[in-house]
Amino acid sequence: MSTEARDITYREAINQALREEMQRDESVFLMGEDIGHFEGAFKVTRGLLEEFGEQRVVDTPITEAGFTGLGIGAAMAGLRPVIEIMTVNFALVAMDQIVSNASKVHYMFGGQVPVPMVIRMPGGAGHQLSAQHSHSLDAVFAQVPGLKVVVPATPEDAKGLLKTAIRDDDPVIVLESEGLYGKRGPVGGEDHLIPFGHAVVRRPGRDCTIIAHSRMVWVALAAAEQLAAQGVEAEVIDPRTFRPLDLDTLAGSVRRTSRAVVVDEGWPECGIAAGVAAHLYEACFDWLDAPIGRVNSADVPMPYAKNLEQAAIPQPDDVVAAVMATLAREVPR
Amino acid sequence: MSGSPPPVPPPEEMREIFRAMTLIRRFEERAAEEYMAGRVGGFLHLAIGEEAAIVGTVSALRPDDPLTSTYREHGQALARGTDPRAIMAELLGRATGICGGRGGSMHLMDIERSFYGGYGIVGGSVPLALGLAWAARYSGTDRVSVTMFGEGAAGQGVVSECFNMAGLWDLPIVFLILNNQYSMGTPVERAAAVEDFYPRAAAYDIESWKVDGMDVLAVRAALSEAARLARDERRPACVELLAYRYKGHSMSDPDTVRAAEEKERWKARDPLVTFERVLLGEGIIDADAIAAMQAEVDEVVDDATTFARESPEVPVSELADDVYAQPWNDDPRGSALMRP
Ligand SMILES: Cc1ncc(C[n+]2csc(CCOP(=O)(O)OP(=O)(O)O)c2C)c(N)n1
């Protein structure tokens, strides 16, 4: 029986998911830098050390490769580690463990041993942190077979997808958004699980499909508001997970609207928007009335100066312009 | 340590050391104010309390010895002689900043002064310093590469890799572990199996030792010896400085983890106050001269702040400049891939 939904933040939603899954399953433990006594760089793990003790909420040295690999080994032994990498930027240090071990062990050894682990990491730009701290590496993880990749945009999804991730028998990368931790929304109770591979329509519309995930959902929704004021009804769809990607829902919408814009905070080259657009061309070519638009961060390392940073990150106006471009290309009836 | 101890610096240099420490302190206090006023964005990591470690190190080096640091590096740039205006302007994200507004507080660089940069990824700058040492030997110069990093960074595997290569190939590098006893909220005893870090370098046949990082002359002496080993004997060295930062990890850290009495205990050994006492005691400076010097430093910091605030923003049209040193077409901004 579901407890009643109430409004909490994205941060609290993740905290709840962790707490509930740790209470439910003793094999779940948390590990990462400053997640225990300091309660997390973003305070996501608040109160968990107190409740579960040092055996299950483990502060590590600054050794991303080491403790991520440790998590993989522990998962191979049957535990369910939830590894926090403080931000996605530091995952690059652990990339060999994630890409060469976590994703491949099950396949490479003929399905002998699963790797039931979660790697949580916040990312994204927008706080003037400059180039080394402003990565959206979703595309990098989405490229790797053997990983599952989860990109929650709301508190409800953050909780439901994380709970599913913890119960999943494969390595799941959960990409949280630093810009969303304070965002509030209704969240279900202990049985609130969201299955992977189910996109959700965030706003219905008929004129163009906007596909956006994580923080970009909110940018797309703001753009849709602006478009509505100009008489254009955009449908906003959030895939919620890459690997698996719910292409049916995306393509279904695009076949109805005949136009699509994909919004992604990552870089344009070989990125999420590029990959999703390629899928849609294959699935919807005969239905399209215009080339699929892409909105990405600028093809540069992220600059520090505020005005440059704003210019580099997708803004609602950029999405509006991209949607308008798909409409302008329409052959007049 | 071997060889004869380096001489105590002459009075003129002692005064310059004191001024550099004072400038760093005042500059950082002002940077904190600018951050609170919302003019500095991103993360701002202050090194207040670590001035002896910084100035003691830089004063022992030659100006052309390549130096790398972490995100806590305003002081290193100031000690190397970078114009405070260009640093403050960088913190405010202005076109006149030392990195043209691209880097911000965490990523200062002044290549003209052989300051090879502050870096945001813990441990990531150490192999760069090894490369600078490699290049120094390769091209037959007697430059010594120095890399400052925290005890937290010492935990990264790449640091051990660098110890091994430096020891294996006898590279002219000084590893400087600034042990301020905390990595963010984690005290050293909860992050390290052994609380001393210099023995890690010793395991790779690198001469290494530990000194009081609150005492600028002790730091200077240790770094002089380390640099001598690297420069004259062509052997890597490692110095661990035991120090303390007074503020939280960054301006966004409320610093609730560390006990008040612990902070007070370390502040009682404030590097500026201790050194001032030495200078006064030895008659190298008097109270009037100190007051005049502090007023002069305040003016420099005021001027830097005014300059930064009045400097223009970086034109958005320059967003894609410098992505490549050698762009593949005449106008990289003309590429359809780049916005705006
Ligand atoms: C690879 C990596 N992991 C984590 C971080 C986040 N982080 C920034 S500073 C810091 C603590 C570093 O402590 P230390 O090396 O002792 O230097 P200090 O900040 O004390 O000067 C951490 C964990 C990072 N920047 N890079």
Cβ of residue A299 closer than 8 Å to a chain B Cβ: yes
| The ligand 1 atom nearest the CA atom of B155 | 15
Give the span between the Cα atoms of A57 and A37, in whole angstroms.
9
Contact B119 A132 (CB under 8 A): yes
Q: Which residues, 6 or more positions from B96, have their beta carbon under 8 angstroms from its beta carbon? A: B85, B86, B89, B307, B308, B311, B312
Please report the beta strands in chain A, taking only residues with DSSP state E, as ranges in sequence order: 6-9, 28-32, 57-59, 80-84, 118-123, 148-150, 172-177, 184-187, 200-203, 208-212, 234-238, 241-242, 260-263, 293-295
CB atoms within 10 A of CB A330: 12
For B321, nearest residue in chain A (alpha carbons): A300
pLDDT tens track for B206-223: 999 999 999 999 999 999
**Structure confidence at residue A333 (pLDDT):** 46
Q: Is B106 on the interface with A (CB under 8 A)?
A: yes
pTM of the shown model: 0.93
- Cα A326 versus chain centre, distance: 26
| Residue B107 contacts A, CB cutoff 8 Å | yes
> Does the C-beta of A62 come closer than 6 Å to ligand 1?
yes
Phi-psi region of B228 (alpha: psi -120 to 50; beta: other; left: phi over 0): alpha
Segment B112-127, tens digit of pLDDT: 999 999 999 999 999 9
Task: Supply the residue whose CA is at minimum distance from atom 25 of ligand 1.
Answer: B121
Write down the pLDDT at residue A89.
98
**Encoded amino acid at B225, one letter:** E
**pLDDT at position B328:** 78
Q: Does A268 touch chain B (CB under 8 A)?
A: yes
Q: What is the pLDDT of residues A158-168, one digit of tens each?
A: 999 999 999 99
Q: Is B291 exposed, middle or buried (0-12, 13-18, 19+ CB in 10 A)?
A: exposed
Nearest-CA neighbor of A83 among A65, A100, A96, A101?
A: A65
Q: Give dist(CA A13, CA A18) in Å, integer.
A: 9
Task: Please report the atom of ligand 1 found closest to the CA of residue B179.
Answer: 16
Task: Specify the pLDDT at position A330.
Answer: 59
Ligand 1 pocket check for B180: Cβ under 6 Å: yes
Say yes or no to pLDDT of A87 above 90.
yes
Q: What percent of chain A has pLDDT over 90?
A: 96
pLDDT surpassing 60 at residue B258: yes
**What is the tens place of the pLDDT at every residue in A199-216?**
999 999 999 999 999 999
Confidence of residue B8 (pLDDT cuts 50, 70, 90): confident
Given this model, what pLDDT does residue B340 score?
A: 43
Nearest alpha carbon, ligand 1 atom 8: B122
The confidence score (pLDDT) of residue A260 equals 98
- At residue A28, the pLDDT reads 98
pLDDT digits (tens, 9 = 90+) for A141-157: 999 999 999 999 999 99
Q: What is the pLDDT of residue B339?
A: 46
Find, among B86, B31, B116, B39, the residue nearest to A305 by Cα. Answer: B39
Q: What is the mean pLDDT of residues B163-182?
A: 98
Mean pLDDT of the A280-284 span = 98
What local confidence, expressed as pLDDT, does residue A1 receive? 41
Mean pLDDT, chain A, rounded, equals 96
pLDDT of B331 > 90? The answer is no
- Pick from B42, B106, B156: which is nearest to A63 by CB? B156
* Confidence band of B327 (pLDDT split at 50, 70, 90): confident
Query: Residue A52: pLDDT above 90?
Result: yes
| B62: pLDDT strictly greater than 70 | yes
> Which element (helix H / strand E) includes A86?
none
pLDDT of residue A207: 98
- The model's confidence at residue A35, banded by pLDDT at 50, 70 and 90, is very high
CA-proximal residue: ligand 1, atom 17 (nearest):
B150
Please write the tens of the pLDDT for every residue from A174-203.
999 999 999 999 999 999 999 999 999 999
How remote is the CA of residue A75 from the centroid of ligand 1, in Å? 27
Strand partners of residue A275: none
Q: Is the pLDDT of residue B2 over 70?
A: no
| CA-atom Rg of chain B in angstroms | 20
Find the mean pLDDT for residues B221-233: 98
Q: What is the pLDDT of residues B72-127, one digit of tens each?
A: 999 999 999 999 999 999 999 999 999 999 999 999 999 999 999 999 999 999 99
The ipTM value here is 0.90
